[in-house]
Amino acid sequence: MAGMLRELGFPVLEADLLSHQLMQPGQAAHDARGRIDRAKLAAIVFVDAARLAKLNQILHPRVEEATLRQFLEWERDGVRDAAFVEAALLVEAGYVKNLDGLVVAFCRPEQQLERLRARGMSETEARQRMAAQMPVEEKLEYATDRIDCSGTIEETQGQVRALAEKLRAVKS
């Protein structure tokens, strides 16, 4: 969905990419020698809730701070349209309190599993990632807008275009 929003001219910050950057040597969330092997880190934290909580405690405040800086920069640059943060854990991290709205993109659990597998995860890894997130039904309670990604790509694009029109109409 983030790519679709970009194609429509909206700025989108990818929190996952930002967290990867923050874990690079010399950055805010890096306190180790050498590079962090994210695959090994994921294998450790997604099987241990306490370790995942510790990692999130380190990362989430830094991602939130960097996100706020980016939004301020976009505002200074005169961005008039809505801007988006793409993140799986916006609600879980408590960041939703800083947003004007929350668009929840969702699909059926079996599709989510299939999509994670297509990104190279084993079924076990994918299920661990899914388990680390708030259930979709609960997350939808926070949504100001919803994008159902369980249909065709054209159906999803139509929903994203409708959202874009709605947001631009509000900004006018």
Taking only the tens place, the pLDDT of each residue in 15-54 is 989 988 888 888 777 777 778 888 888 889 988 989 999 9
Q: Give SS3 for 26.
A: coil
- List, in sequence order, every residue forming a beta bridge with 54; answer none if it has no partner: none
Residue 172 is predicted with a pLDDT of: 62
CB 51 within 8 A of CB 44: yes
Domain extent, residue 52, equals 2-171
- Structural domain count of the chain: 1
Taking only the tens place, the pLDDT of each residue in 157-171 is 999 999 999 999 986
Residue 117 is predicted with a pLDDT of: 96
| CATH code of the domain covering residue 80 | 3.40.50.300
pLDDT bucket at 66, cuts 50 / 70 / 90: very high
The CA distance from 55 to 154, in Å, is 37
Residue 161 is predicted with a pLDDT of: 97
The structure's pTM equals 0.83
The CA distance from 132 to 34, in Å, is 27
Residue 122 is predicted with a pLDDT of: 94
Taking only the tens place, the pLDDT of each residue in 115-125 is 999 999 999 99
Q: Calculate what percentage of the chain has a pLDDT beyond 90.
A: 66
pLDDT (mean) for 98-112 = 94
**Residue 7 in this model has a pLDDT that exceeds 80:** yes
In sign, the C-alpha dihedral spanning 146, 115, 86, 58 is positive
The CA distance from 164 to 158, in Å, is 10
